[in-house]
Structure 1
Amino acid sequence: MSDANTQSDMQKMFGDFAPKLVSLTDDVLFDDVWEREGLSPRDRSLATISGLLAAGNIDQLNWHIPYGIQNGLTETEIKEAIIQLAFYAGWPKAVSAMNIAKRIFDAQPEPRK
């Protein structure tokens, strides 16, 4: 996933501490699963954000919401997904996810969609 000069986010976080987790994340998850045909990166991001929220893995949204934006998701789409999941995954999870989304979008330059 990276060349000799650029480290992935996982390499920066875990480097030599957990090299297998880094390898699985970079080589299997992002270089294989995320690159498969069948779903666009945008759709994969929407599914991932939804799955993380539903499972209660809210902290991971700090990385996946910006990645979803990079992959073409709009602010409206992310907020609507969170609202939709409030009724299926639980209100507290949705409120926590919306807090993260708000912080991320508040920090972004205009225009917002």
Structure 2
Amino acid sequence: MTVRREVLGDAHVDRAVAGTTDFTRDFQELITAYAWGEIWTRPGLDRRSRSMITLTALIARGHHEELAMHVRAALRNGLTVDELKEVLLQSAIYCGVPDANTAFRIAQRVLDEEGIS
């Protein structure tokens, strides 16, 4: 839970936990233990690299509903705006221009919301 909070921020995690129901509890426990406790804590990659990989995977799979959250996480993990732009440009070639176009729109919205130019 510590890593999940560090990467996604307390506000997001608090909303996710507050929205947990008897039906979703097992899933929340699974992603906390496995994704955040096992994968994001492995020593082989730093959090910046994991964020870049995650952004690319979300773009490639069209998971736009989680992209904004992980753009914020990438910035929290130390990606600069220029590095974020490069990840999105790279994704245009390997994931497709329409997906990158959507990703740029979502990322710009996040940057605006965060007051980052």
> TM-score category by the smaller chain?
0.7 to 0.9
Root-mean-square deviation over aligned CA pairs: 1.9
Q: Cα distance 1:95–1:13, how it changes in 2: closer, same or farther (>3 A)? A: farther
Give me the whole-angstrom Cα distance separating, in 2, the residues matched to 1:88 and 1:106.
26
- The structure whose residues are more often helix, as a share, is 2
Correspondence for 2:81: 75
Equivalent in the alignment of 2:109: 103
Aligned to 1:85: 91
Which stretches in structure 1 are left out of the alignment for 5+ residues?
Answer: none
CA offset at residue 52 of structure 1?
0.8
Determine the C-alpha separation between the residues in 2 that align with 1:63 and 1:34.
Answer: 16
Calculate percent identity across the aligned residue pairs.
32
| CA distance in 2 between partners of 1:59 and 1:39 (Å) | 25
Uncovered stretches (5+) of structure 2, i.e. residues with no partner: 3-9
Q: Please show how residues 44-83 of structure 1 align to structure 2 within 5 Å.
A: 44-83=50-89
TM-score in terms of structure 1 length: 0.85
Q: Which runs of 4+ in 1 moved over 4 A?
A: none
